Chain A
């Protein structure tokens, strides 16, 4: 797998002219605030790609990679809510609207419009985020909410007090320039 990545990374510059940014250890955190319980989970193995020439941006996070405080929650998250055996990944594929100049240091607030797919249900979303360039290193972060009902994630009445209807998601990616 590593060799393949290196190979791809080696091949891609020829076609992308050094404008492709990639990250394979992006961090995605979930936070659900409900009357009875606050639930947090984090994945540090999301993948992201940003193409500076066109503004295309893509994220992919394996559902199974989310780690919870409680092992039972993690099991329920996969088994009952996200059905990770049927829908193993959550993705976002979109385009950044006004392209920031990533050659200069600074923070650039952007809006990305595209398809957010969670639990097999795709929603067209516009998500706020920001690129940060510091000493040539490019990173991206964003915070947004996902409504369970929009993605057909059922929460039974019995646990309504424990799980929020909308989940806050925060994403951080530090890119490597290809």
Chain B
């Protein structure tokens, strides 16, 4: 800023001197004044780090803007290969391992409220998402950060009958999403998360109630309105490590293609996790890419503008 002022002053001084010697300065003083007046602020926020509030597994730093309602439908089919896949199930299309229907409503431009329901474990979830750091164009703030808090309730006893104290049905999830838009085409995020299941899930001996998870995801635009997305999570849980002899757990890995068409964002993906909600897939991903237990999935998100800002103003 200081150097800009100095430069402008210098330029101004030169102009004045020249103006004295050659009265009608040809290169216009109009131009230099215009340039001085229209210096754009370089601390502009970086917009559209991601196009949707969700990638494959993860949520992004993007929140739903004030008064908007995002309607999300996510689907995961059955195993493409392995014993449950193959031609007899039309490579998994006959089965749905999970279906998620969700709503996200923007309370302010930075805060949204979300509700969703999964087929997997009949999980109901209610959450808040707050975008508290915004990446700026001048890198004064080099990344965006959002915090998500969710409470999940499994109202029905599906896989276990130890739901007696009602609190056993509750699960809690917290995630920090740190993202950076490196260029117009490439955005990446890392997501440290913490999951708490009041009743260990799956309900097996030695399973942990609490564990940390570290995830990462990116979007690489290939065309102007579509691109590749990759999503990965690793739970730090000794029960879920590879030396567990009774049950095998795998890290959720997903690859997809994201297409944006105005109000809709579609994602077509392949992933090994059966479940859609973080509360389910972080705790229980027992299917492996290596055994053909990956599936086709899709996400449709549609943004509705509920409270039109006063139209007369524009």
Contact = CB atoms under 8 A, between A and B. Distances in A.
A107 to B, nearest CB: 23
A15 B184 contact: no
Interface string B1-42: 100110011001001100100001100111101111111100
B8 A4 contact: yes
B311 to A, nearest CB: 6
B186 to A, nearest CB: 13
Contact of B40 (A20, A29, A64): A64
Interface string A70-93: 111001101110010110110001
Given A70-B305, A80-B225, A158-B262, A16 B38 contact: no
A26 B118 CA distance: 52
A68 B16 CA distance: 42
Contacts of A8: 8, 12, 33, 36
Contact of A14 (B9, B19, B38, B313): B19
Contact of B5 (A4, A60, A78): A4
A158 B262 CA distance: 9
Nearest to B224: A80
Is chain A's binding surface mostly helix, strand, loop or mixed? Answer: mixed
A1 interface: yes
Contacts of B44: 64
A49 B34 CA distance: 6
Interface stretch (A40-48, A121-129, A136-144): A40-48
B66 interface: yes
A106 B57 CA distance: 65
Contacts of B184: 83, 85-86
Interface stretch (A50-58, A97-105, A164-172): A50-58
A89 B12 CA distance: 23
Interface string A106-134: 00000000000000000000000000000
21 contacts: A1-B1, A4-B9, A7-B12, A8-B33, A11-B15, A49-B37, A50-B30, A58-B28, A60-B34, A68-B314, A69-B308, A69-B311, A71-B109, A72-B263, A72-B303, A76-B262, A83-B184, A88-B40, A93-B31, A159-B262, A162-B262
Interface of A: 1, 3-5, 7-8, 11-12, 14-16, 20, 22, 24, 29, 40-42, 46-51, 53-54, 56-60, 62, 64, 67-72, 75-76, 78-80, 83, 85-86, 88-89, 93, 154, 156, 158-159, 162, 178
Interface of B: 1, 4-5, 8-9, 12, 15-16, 19, 24-25, 28-31, 33-40, 44, 47-48, 65-66, 68, 109, 137, 184, 224-225, 260-263, 303, 305, 308-309, 311, 313-314
